[in-house]
Structure 1
Amino acid sequence: MQTEFLQVQGLAKSYPGNAEPVFEGVNFGLTEGEFVCIIGHSGCGKTTILNVLAGLEQASEGYVFMDRREVAGPSLNRGVVFQGHALMPWLTVRQNIAFAVRSKWPEWNKAQVNLHVEQYVGLVGLSPAIDKKPSQLSGGMKQRVGIARAFAIQPRMLLLDEPFGALDALTRGSIQDELLRICAETRQTVFMITHDVDEAILLADRILLMSNGPRARVAEIVRNTMPRSRTRATLHHDPQYYPIRNHLVDFLVARSKDLSHGRAPSVPPEVCPGLNDPGVTPTQPAALNEEPTP
């Protein structure tokens, strides 16, 4: 069994003036090179968990260890891509990424930085726009720059906070394909927040399901039993697709509420719906693709 690269133990978060914690007893781990998505209703603390993993926020209880070292603050070993592109508008694509690269390798000369920047801009297909400013780019191109910047510092772990949520379906799909390709090439470890069930099935090796807040927990971990070579075009043809998808939607619609208020298990069970849910009909699609209203 692989040693867990990231370990989250007994994580909880409370805010002054709130009677109950947003989440508590959160336990999970990631192995190196694994792509994990987390899904749950608004208010369950997904972004707070990601911020704690990034070292941008402190938990009220519990610990996070990455590569056997406690996460106690921000680090260039963890790259973050937020919902907004967070680019500096007065800098070009090249300069935005170079700023991050120089932070990681301050001893590099200009030629080394430029070569490295050009490599990662090319990786996301933006070489023709490398000397343009953000105002000259589309929303999808800006997100590609954010992804290139995060990959360029070669982090041990990449943290994605629903980075494609504001994009149209065509652009979103294109960037998902780029992300899959880059992660396959680099064996990047990724933790990603999403509200899109199909996006999670396409990208993730495992999917963490959060119960509703307050007192939210990771109630269940779903292992994606579909081959890693899956693509958007062929996803729904796989016989394991609908059992997994229906399982996720059923959790979001019904079970996430039933498991809230501390009734979720402290050690989340791991399930494989594509293999062990014989009651789900593979040919009957679930009707939901987005986060349901609680």
Structure 2
Amino acid sequence: MQTNIDFLKVENLSKTYVAGSPPVFENVNFDIQQGEFVCIIGHSGCGKTTILNVLAGLEEASSGYSYMLGREIKGPSLERGVVFQGHALMPWMTVLQNINFAVKSKYPDWPKAKITAHSEKYIELVGLGAAKQKRPSELSGGMKQRVGIARAFAIEPKMLLLDEPFGALDALTRGVIQDELLKICASTKQTVFMITHDVDEAILLSDKIMLMSNGPNARIAEIVENTLPKNRERATMHHDPMYYPMRNHLVDFLVHRSKLVQQSSHATQNQNNVRDITQRLKPRLVRPGKEQMVSNQSTQMN
């Protein structure tokens, strides 16, 4: 029986699409505490989106378990808001109507005036107050993605799941929306699980960064603790003495160590040649620039 008090707990999660073939990922284990912003990074095909879909209740794992607040995740729920790379707005509705529709689904007993006021609050939070009566065809790509983020926040989910939400945006728009997301998360204490391929984005946004080895048989090899101050800013965070050790650690994993972890998962000998966690099922908590690596089997991640 599940008795831990972690906000989210994933235990030995594995996914195989075709019987007899290697799993996309296996033995995935991690915890997320309430209010944490966690990013997951890995090469294409390692199963990041599948993990997110399992957490959203949109897909079932082949084995293992995922719990939120002690309850096993089975099927989609408005307790978990999802923002995909595509905005998925209803084109015949205005910005306000799109968000009203979601809010009414979550709070069907609310009067119309309360729904509208609630929706408008989140429209203002993402800076779209002047565009609330516009339809998606009248919005830029960045504005559409802001609507998707506002809609996800407006249903007040206990957890927000983001699948590369800024991947298709230009650099300037991406930066603006990242800053908006940081402000909203700071004000709402939102718990977030986000997929990204952008190392700098992960450092800017996250409290922890999970690193996945290459697939098949992918697993979370490390969990990197972001040691930069919480009130970090894009323009100045590279001045922090921990920034480059952390960035170099992440890039080195993607370029080199992720391949070593994958190779070691198939090896039957010489496992000690690999520095990263390859002999345990659970990932290590890593603090780049600090003195030691600490196994999360013996250290609580905060």
User: If the length of structure 2 is used for normalisation, what is the TM-score?
Assistant: 0.90
Out of 284, 288, 291, which is 1:276 matched to?
A: 291
Deviations 1:143-186 (A, max 9, x none): 00000000000000000000000101110000000000000000
Q: Distance in 2 between matches of 1:99 and 1:259?
A: 45
**Is the contact made by 2:6 and 2:70 (CA closer than 8 Å) also made in structure 1?**
no
| 1:65 is the counterpart of 2:80 | no
Out of 236, 239, 257, which is 1:237 matched to?
A: 239
Q: Distance in 2 between matches of 1:188 and 1:220?
A: 23
**Is the contact made by 2:214 and 2:262 (CA closer than 8 Å) also made in structure 1?**
yes
Q: Which residue matches 2:147?
A: 145
Alignment of 1:249-288 (within 5 A): 249-260=251-262, 262=265, 264=278, 265-276=280-291
Q: Which residue matches 1:116?
A: 118
Secondary structure of the 1:50 match is helix
Out of 85, 90, 93, which is 1:91 matched to?
A: 93
Out of 129, 134, 142, which is 1:127 matched to?
A: 129
Alignment of 1:195-210 (within 5 A): 195-210=197-212
Q: Percent identity of the aligned residues?
A: 70
Alignment of 1:14-33 (within 5 A): 14-16=16-18, 19-33=21-35
Amino acid at match of 2:175: G
List structure 1 runs of 4+ shifted beyond 4 angstroms. none
What is the CA RMSD across the aligned residues, in angstroms? 1.2
- Residue 235 (structure 1) shift: 1.2
Secondary structure of the 2:75 match is coil
- Residue 4 (structure 1) shift: 1.6
- Residue 17 (structure 1) shift: 5.3
- Residue 19 (structure 1) shift: 1.4
Q: Which residue matches 1:288?
A: none
- Residue 275 (structure 1) shift: 2.1
| 1:158 is the counterpart of 2:160 | yes
| 1:224 is the counterpart of 2:239 | no
**Is the contact made by 1:22 and 1:214 (CA closer than 8 Å) also made in structure 2?**
yes
- Residue 276 (structure 1) shift: 3.1
Q: How many corresponding residue pairs?
A: 276
Q: Distance in 2 between matches of 1:192 and 1:18?
A: 30
**Is the contact made by 2:126 and 2:146 (CA closer than 8 Å) also made in structure 1?**
yes
Amino acid at match of 2:78: L
Q: Which runs of 5+ in 2 are unaligned?
A: 267-277, 293-302
Q: Distance in 1 between matches of 2:130 and 2:21?
A: 53
Q: Distance in 2 between matches of 1:143 and 1:18?
A: 39
Amino acid at match of 1:273: P
User: If the length of structure 1 is used for normalisation, what is the TM-score?
Assistant: 0.92
Amino acid at match of 1:22: V
Secondary structure of the 1:255 match is helix
Q: Distance in 2 between matches of 1:113 and 1:28?
A: 36
Q: Distance in 2 between matches of 1:216 and 1:152?
A: 34
**Is the contact made by 1:11 and 1:24 (CA closer than 8 Å) also made in structure 2?**
yes
- Residue 16 (structure 1) shift: 1.7
Amino acid at match of 1:15: Y
Q: Which runs of 5+ in 1 are unaligned?
A: 278-294
Amino acid at match of 2:113: A
**Is the contact made by 2:5 and 2:69 (CA closer than 8 Å) also made in structure 1?**
no
Q: Distance in 2 between matches of 1:209 and 1:197?
A: 11
**Is the contact made by 1:225 and 1:274 (CA closer than 8 Å) also made in structure 2?**
no
Q: Distance in 1 between matches of 2:156 and 2:134?
A: 23
**Is the contact made by 1:101 and 1:113 (CA closer than 8 Å) also made in structure 2?**
yes
With 258-267 and 216-225 compared, the bigger mean Cα shift is at 258-267
Amino acid at match of 2:112: K
Amino acid at match of 1:111: A
**Is the contact made by 1:162 and 1:192 (CA closer than 8 Å) also made in structure 2?**
yes
**Is the contact made by 1:225 and 1:275 (CA closer than 8 Å) also made in structure 2?**
no
**Is the contact made by 2:5 and 2:70 (CA closer than 8 Å) also made in structure 1?**
no
Q: Distance in 1 between matches of 2:145 and 2:290?
A: 35
Q: Which residue matches 2:7?
A: 5
Amino acid at match of 1:33: G
